Structure 1
Amino acid sequence: MEGDSASSAELYALVSALAELPLAQGFAVTGSVNQHGQVQVIGGVNEKIEGFFDVCRAQGLTGSQGVLIPVGNVRHLMLNPEVVAAVAAGQFHIYPIRHVDEGLALLLRRPARDSRPCGGAARTFVGTTEGERGK
């Protein structure tokens, strides 16, 4: 992983390691992250989606594979018809993400934001119990 486009993936991997919770497999992640956790637009989004789709198709589409992209890149999507058809059929997914909390919730299969106030702002966390660690 390298470059700004990998910063969200690096953050998800770091949180997963610190929380001792595995990330869901079958996803590709792209997007840079600012200091507020907002996932920002990146270049080459079509090529990244289509490249991961090709890998998934070669190994067999399961319906649980997909790509997390910055929501700001949705307007740039010009995907080949095979990808569009697979998305329409529910065989492949594209998840537009605004904030890293959304990506964490998807990849960790749990909410990543605590709604209890903390100094006037919501706290971001990943809660675990001893029984959940390392699963």
Structure 2
Amino acid sequence: MSKAKILIVEDDNMLCTVFEMFLEELGYEHCGTVASGEDALTHLENKQPNLILMDIHLKGKIDGIETAKLILEKYNIPIIYISGDSDVNTAIRAVLKNTYGFMTKPVYKDSLELNIEFALHKHNLINN
């Protein structure tokens, strides 16, 4: 089985570096990093990953939840939300949008791996 390709949508450069390092250590293929919802949608026109790690609060006009909605409608790519926001309403809003996972920052490598594997497995079960 080939390595899953994962896109990071996050506007914090330090976190992007950490996520990229975690993905490499876990054996996944990091296929890009973008900082806004608009950039994520543009990226997907040319290269589609197997999974997306999506920050909820992004630079740009659309947040991570709205970006995820647009991605799911057009591409059906599983998305794991990542947020530093502990607001329950934000979490509920994210989970109600067909999420494959929701993680709060700080993100640890073990929990990232479990969430990625769960999301990929769930997506495979739903679509096959």
- TM-score range normalised by the length of the shorter chain: 0.3 to 0.5
Q: Which has the larger radius of gyration?
A: 1
Give the alignment's TM-score, normalised by structure 2.
0.43
Which of the pair is proportionally richer in helix? Answer: 2
- Tell me which of the two structures has the higher relative contact order, counting C-alpha pairs closer than 8 angstroms and 6 or more residues apart: 1
Taking structure 1 as the reference length, the TM-score comes to 0.42
